[in-house]
Amino acid sequence: MKLSNDAIERVVGDFHGSDLGDPRRSRRLTRIVTELAAQPWASIPDAMGSVAALEAAYRFINSRAVSFEALHGSHVKAAVERCRAAEEVLVVHDTTTCEFAHAEPSEVGYLPTGAAGFQLHIALAIDATQWRRPLGVVSVEVLSRAKRSGRGSRKRKVSGAETSKWKDRESARWWRGVEKASAALDGVPHIHVADREGDSYELLGAMRTANLRFVVRNKHDRRARDPDSTDPKWSTMRELAKQAEGSLERDVPLAARKRSSTPREDSTHPPRKARLAHLRFSATTVELRRPRYLGDPLPETLRLNLVHVLEVDPPAGERPVEWTLITTERVDTPEQVARIVDIYRTRWTIEEFNKALKTGCLYEKRQFESRGALLVILALSLPIACELLWLRSRARTEPNAPATEVVSPTQIDVLRAMGGRKLSAAPSVREILLAIAELGGHQRSNGEPGWLILNRGLRKVHDWEDGWRAALAQMTTRPPERSDLS
């Protein structure tokens, strides 16, 4: 897949507001971003195309005058303008790990494993109505350690009361991300969305106090009660969820999930086969009690709405799907309850965004050894990843769109001549997507092709295209051969 000219112009336009202190740097920035957006899967040398352009790109990326803050700040401004044009925006928060096997941890930072890398806590703005279109990364925080931390070792269990007193605790990133994203989106209607990792009373209380809207998946079975009941007895969220009356039922396709290399991850998210799950939705209002180890300024109680999702009659041997969502949004009607679930399901968009960044844009493979250079490449890659994700989403939601929206006419000729899949006279986006995926080793029984498969197929198409163009050029410049009869 390639980005269209319009998409490349949008990516380049995101950096027009970057203040780099010198118009020559701004011109160089435009050239670098244009080449990277045109070939997101290519290495830096291949994308730049010439030795001179490559050397200029390396000077730019390693320059101390070029900062992540200046580049990303320009992208945020452009993303906010796109958000203003949307009716409603979802801000999805997530943390992803970036590991750089080629780098030294002392230069880049330490991951908890001791490897070189850092974590990115990202807030991705998404159009709530237009096919969940990614509008931009409105907040990103880089989390790294100067040395391998021994805190929280297996020998000693750390309590919530103790971690709440740590000034540098990493869990505080959730509120910082929410606060920063909300400040950028001031005046734009938006709803914050977070998974189980974001479920903390501190975050819920801070968002409620700031009058922010949110949907957060519940992880902790907190003390809770029905605020409208005459019985003031405290129960638990789980018990109240079981007592909630059902609002509606719906069939939802579940994607297959592979076994994880981490036993803890397998316990939380066990492997499963793809299936159509019959889900029952119910909702109620709850009052949550503040944990004892927390104090002011957090409110003593929080009145919030709860949506419970439970799979009915799951297949034998499969764990039933069960979610408990905490929200500020209304849940008075079946339509409102279904909307809450749909909002939370949008959270998976950021998982795809992370793959678009790391696999579609090859971010972890960029061979830079300094933290500053890696952050500059990150800033350049974020808007490209947004466009890549939007492109693949359109390939799924608009499968009959013309193939020229995702590949060049020459690439279609190459796939028609050398690919294994027969193409129609005017191939669609869907046809081309599957043809490229097949080159990458995709099997139809495995569901939709992933980023790694598409990246692998695109590399083959790109290599074949180079040979194809070289052969055409030789045919047009070579003099005709003499006939034996002349």
What confidence score (pLDDT) does residue 154 get?
A: 47
Same-domain status, 184 and 273 = yes
Same-domain status, 180 and 254 = yes
Q: What is the DSSP letter of 114?
A: S
More confident residue, 259 or 399: 399
* Residue that is last in its domain, among 302, 336, 358: 358
Within 8 A by CB and 6+ apart from 29, the residues are 15, 18, 20, 60, 66, 71
Residue 145 backbone phi and psi in degrees, to 5: -120, 140
Q: Is residue 110 a contact partner of residue 167, using CB atoms and an 8 Å limit?
A: no
Same-domain status, 190 and 213 = yes
Residue 178 falls inside a structural domain: yes
Give the confidence band of 485 by pLDDT, cuts at 50, 70, 90. very low
Q: Is residue 436 a contact partner of residue 458, using CB atoms and an 8 Å limit?
A: yes
Same-domain status, 79 and 215 = yes
pLDDT per residue as tens digits for the range 448-484 = 787 778 878 877 887 888 788 888 888 876 666 555 4
Distances (CA, A) of 102 to 99, 176, 380: 9, 31, 20
What are the residue ranges of helices labelled H in 347-370? 348-355
Same-domain status, 98 and 55 = no
Same-domain status, 300 and 431 = no
Pick from 45, 174, 171, 181: which is nearest to 124 by CA? 181
Least confident of 159-168, 268-277, 407-416: 159-168
Within 8 A by CB and 6+ apart from 19, the residues are 70
What confidence score (pLDDT) does residue 449 get?
A: 81
Least confident of 154-158, 299-303, 376-380, 477-481: 154-158
152 has pLDDT over 50? no
Same-domain status, 409 and 387 = no
What confidence score (pLDDT) does residue 197 get?
A: 93
Residue 210 falls inside a structural domain: yes
* Residue that is last in its domain, among 303, 336, 358: 358
Same-domain status, 18 and 77 = no
What confidence score (pLDDT) does residue 486 get?
A: 39
Percent of the chain's residues with pLDDT above 70: 90
* CATH number (domain holding residue 12): 1.10.246.40
Instruction: Report helix angle 371-397 to 51-62, nearest 10.
Output: 110
Percent of the chain's residues with pLDDT above 90: 56
pTM: 0.86
Same-domain status, 246 and 349 = yes
Residue 240 falls inside a structural domain: yes
169 has pLDDT over 80? no
Q: Residue 409 has which token pair?
A: 């006419």
Q: Is residue 251 a contact partner of residue 281, using CB atoms and an 8 Å limit?
A: no
374 has pLDDT over 70? yes
Give the structural domain span for 373.
Answer: 5-67+369-394
pLDDT per residue as tens digits for the range 431-451 = 888 888 888 888 876 777 877
Same-domain status, 422 and 282 = no
Give the confidence band of 1 by pLDDT, cuts at 50, 70, 90. low
233 has pLDDT over 60? yes
166 has pLDDT over 70? no
Q: What is the DSSP letter of 39?
A: -
pLDDT per residue as tens digits for the range 180-190 = 999 999 999 99
Residue 155 falls inside a structural domain: no
Residue type, 49: G
Mean pLDDT of 258-277: 72
What b/e readout covers 89-126, taking b as 16+ CB neighbours within 10 angstroms? bbbbbbbebbebeebebeebbbbeeebbbbbbbbbbbb
Residue 483 falls inside a structural domain: no
CA distance 135 to 383: 9
What is the CB-side half-sphere exposure of residue 225 using CA atoms within 13 A? 11
Question: Which CB contacts under 8 angstroms, 24+ apart, belong to 28-35?
Answer: 28/56, 28/57, 28/60, 29/60, 29/66, 29/71, 31/56, 32/57, 32/60, 32/61, 32/380, 33/380, 33/384, 34/8
CA distance 313 to 322: 12
* CATH number (domain holding residue 466): 1.10.740.10
Residue 162 falls inside a structural domain: no
* Residue that is last in its domain, among 330, 358, 386: 358
Residue 115 falls inside a structural domain: yes
Q: In a 3-state reduction of DSSP, which class is residue 296?
A: coil
* CATH number (domain holding residue 127): 3.90.350.10
Q: What is the tally of structural domains in the chain?
A: 3
Q: In a 3-state reduction of DSSP, which class is residue 306?
A: strand
Same-domain status, 389 and 448 = no
Give the confidence band of 310 by pLDDT, cuts at 50, 70, 90. very high
Same-domain status, 59 and 72 = no
Instruction: Report helix angle 201-209 to 173-184, nearest 10.
Output: 20
Mean pLDDT of 174-202: 96
Residue type, 265: E
Give the confidence band of 151 by pLDDT, cuts at 50, 70, 90. low
Q: Is residue 98 a contact partner of residue 364, using CB atoms and an 8 Å limit?
A: yes
Give the confidence band of 270 by pLDDT, cuts at 50, 70, 90. confident
What is the CB-side half-sphere exposure of residue 51 using CA atoms within 13 A? 0
Give the confidence band of 130 by pLDDT, cuts at 50, 70, 90. low
Residue 161 falls inside a structural domain: no
